[in-house]
Amino acid sequence: MVKATGQCNISVISQDATFDLFKHFGFQSGRDVDKFADYPAANYQTSENGIPYITVGTNAYFSLKVKQTVDLGSHTLFICELVAMEVLSDTASATYEYYQSNIKPKPEAVGTTPKGETIWRCRICGYEWVEAHDFILKMPSFLEKIVAAILLVGVAYSCIQLGIHVASLTELAFDEYIEDILITAFNAVIVIEFIRMLIKHSMNTIIEVLIFAIARGLVVGHEAPLETLIRIVCIAILLACRKYLFYEKDFEEEM
Per residue in 65-115, pLDDT (tens digit) is 999 999 998 889 999 999 999 999 999 999 999 999 999 999 998 988 887
pLDDT band for 152, please (50, 70, 90 cuts).
Answer: confident
| Residue 195 and residue 155 in contact, taking contact as beta carbons nearer than 8 Å | yes
Which residues touch 219 (CB under 8 Å, ≥6 apart)? 182, 186
> Which amino acid type is present at position 216?
R
Per residue in 158-216, pLDDT (tens digit) is 777 767 766 665 555 666 666 667 777 777 777 777 777 766 667 777 777 777 777 77
Least Cα distance to 98 among 202, 14, 201 occurs for 14
Phi, psi of 53 (to 5 degrees): -140, 145
How far CA 145 is from CA of 67, 140, 171, 206, 207, in Å, comes to: 53, 9, 39, 16, 20
pLDDT band for 237, please (50, 70, 90 cuts).
Answer: confident
Q: What is the pLDDT of residue 255?
A: 45
pLDDT (average), residues 118-135: 80
pTM of the predicted model over 0.95:
no
Give 216-222's long-range contacts (Cβ < 8 A, gap of 24+).
Answer: 216/183, 216/186, 216/187, 216/190, 219/182, 219/186, 220/179, 220/182, 220/183, 220/186
Per residue in 10-56, pLDDT (tens digit) is 999 999 999 999 999 999 888 889 999 999 999 999 999 999 999 99
> Which amino acid type is present at position 203?
M
Which residues touch 182 (CB under 8 Å, ≥6 apart)? 219, 220
Any idea where the domains of the chain sit in the sequence? 2-87, 96-130, 134-251
Q: What is the pLDDT of residue 171?
A: 58
The domain 2-87 having CATH identifier 2.30.110.10: the answer here is yes
| Residue 133 and residue 144 in contact, taking contact as beta carbons nearer than 8 Å | no
- 212: Cα separation from own chain's centroid: 23
Q: What is the pLDDT of residue 235?
A: 83
Whether residue 134 has pLDDT greater than 90: no
